[in-house]
Every structure is written in C-alpha cells, then in structure tokens.
Amino acid sequence: MNTNREREFFVSDQVPAATRRERRKQEYRQRILDAAIEVFESIGCEAATLESICEAADVSRPTFYKYFDGKPALIRALAEQLWLNVAQQFDSEFDHTNETIDDYLAHFFTIVRLEFSKYSRLERELIRYSMTQSTGDDHSINLLKTLTQMFSGAYLKAAQKGQLNLAYPVDFMAEMTMASINTVMMSWAMDEQYPLAERLDQLASYLPDTLRIAKK
C-alpha cells in the first residue's frame, strides 16, 4: 500500500473559509490514516492502541474522535480504501465500451490478484479485522453498494448486447458475485496458505458460466 500520499493545496485569500476548513479536516484525517498504517505495520492491528496511533499522528484523542468513532472504524476505513483503490484502477484502465463480460471479469480479477498479491501482513489483517468486526455502518454499506452496482451495471450492459441470457435479475447476480468475492477474500485473510491467485482465476471463469445458466 502506498503510504506516501502527496497532496497539493492551492489556497488563496479568495478561497472561502469553509473550503479551507474542509481541506484542513481532510489533512488531519489522512494524517491519522497514514500514522495508523505505520503503527499497524510495526506492531499489528490487535496490539495497536489509540494512544500509539494518536502519538504517531501527533493529534489528541479528542481530535481523533472527530474523524473516527474508534479503532474498528479506523480499520474499516483503511480496508475500504483497499477496495476503492482496486475499483478506481479498474475504471481507469479498462475500456468499458467494447469488452465482453468474460473480459470484464477477467480484467477485474487480474487487478485484484495483482494488488492483493503485493500486500503485506497489514493488509491481510485489515481485511480480516474489518470483515469480522463489521457492524454494518454507513461507510461499509456504501462501499458494498458501490461495488455491487458496478457489477450490476456490467451485467445489464452484457445482457443488452446479447452476451448473457440472464436467468435471474442483474442486481441479484451482482449480489451473488460480491458474496463469492467476500468468501474468497475472507478465506485468504484467515489462511496464509490460501491459494488466492488460483481462486481469483477460477472466479473469473466460474462467474460468466454461472451467469449463462438457463433457468429451468
């Protein structure tokens, strides 16, 4: 994961105070996230305390609580960022006008495999902790909704192009896709010997086949 995030802010006297405050808030939030990454990398998620994170970020606990309800919320934010990075990279690299659904899924899982194969113990811990400690908060729900809608839109376009003869609604199939991904990622997070690359390749083949199954 890239912990050296660079941000440039061009603030003039004409920029509204509200805008400057919002940028300041984002700076503090990112400072906490970056500090948490360093602490988690050093001693792990379980051993990390709010005190150690606040000390590394050079912020007070009251300031921390302005941005996160606690350590679980902070960890969920980091884990969600992993998936958002994958989704953003996928959108920026893939041509969504001429792809088949097979190409679409193969490319998506290739990005997931490449991204997660280079992750360290930290990212594995983040995935495991966020999934086992999930409380259904708005941020987690929004991330799940975003990814599900991404697949739903792809399946709908594929059906309109005649690539799929969907036996079930596209939103249902998108939800089942996310369920399959979640199962694979949880297995990987819990088992260091789990064959993630192999399972992702199998998902890339399994899902299109499943989408084409005719309803009896």
Of residues 211 and 53, which shows the higher confidence score? 53
Tokens 């300041």 correspond to what residue? 24
- 210 against 212, higher pLDDT: 210
Helix segments in 5-100, DSSP class H: 17-43, 50-57, 61-67, 71-93
Output 200 or 20, whichever has higher pLDDT.
Answer: 200
CATH number belonging to the domain at 79-211, selected among 3.30.70.260, 1.10.3720.10, 1.10.357.10, 3.90.420.10: 1.10.357.10
- Residue 134's pLDDT band, with cuts at 50, 70 and 90, is low
- The pair of structure tokens assigned to 81 is 């960022």
> 215 or 73: whose pLDDT is higher?
73
Q: What is the pLDDT of residue 198?
A: 92
**pLDDT tens figures, 142-194:** 677 888 888 998 888 888 888 877 778 889 999 999 999 989 988 888 888 88
pLDDT of residue 35: 92
pLDDT at 64 over 80: yes
1-68 CATH fold: Arc Repressor Mutant, subunit A (1.10.10)
Per the CB < 8 A criterion, the answer to whether 37 and 78 are in contact is yes
**Is the per-residue pLDDT at 61 higher than 70?**
yes
State the pLDDT at residue 160: 85
pLDDT at position 139 over 70: no
Reading the block at residue 127, the tokens are 């995935």
Report whether 102 contacts 206 (CB < 8 A): no
Q: Note whether 115 and 86 are within 8 A (CB).
A: yes
8 Å CB contact between 154 and 102? no
Task: State pLDDT tens for residues 81-118.
Answer: 777 777 777 777 666 666 788 888 888 888 888 777 66
What ranges do the domains of the chain cover? 1-68, 79-211
Work out the average pLDDT over 1-7: 44
Q: Is the pLDDT at 16 greater than 70, yes or no?
A: no
Query: With bands split at pLDDT 50, 70 and 90, how would you rate the model's confidence at 130?
Result: low
Please tell me the distance from the alpha carbon of residue 182 to that of residue 126, in angstroms, as a whole number.
14
CA angle 16, 17, 19 (to 5 degrees): 70
Tell me the C-alpha to C-alpha distance, in Å, between residue 65 and each of 60, 126, 140, 149, 150: 9, 20, 18, 31, 32
CA gyration radius, the chain: 20
Among 9-23, 50-64, 140-154, where is mean pLDDT lowest? Answer: 9-23
Long-range contacts of 133-139, Cβ-Cβ distance < 8 Å, separation of 24 or more: 133/72, 133/75, 133/76, 134/76, 135/72, 137/73, 137/76, 139/73, 139/76, 139/77, 139/80
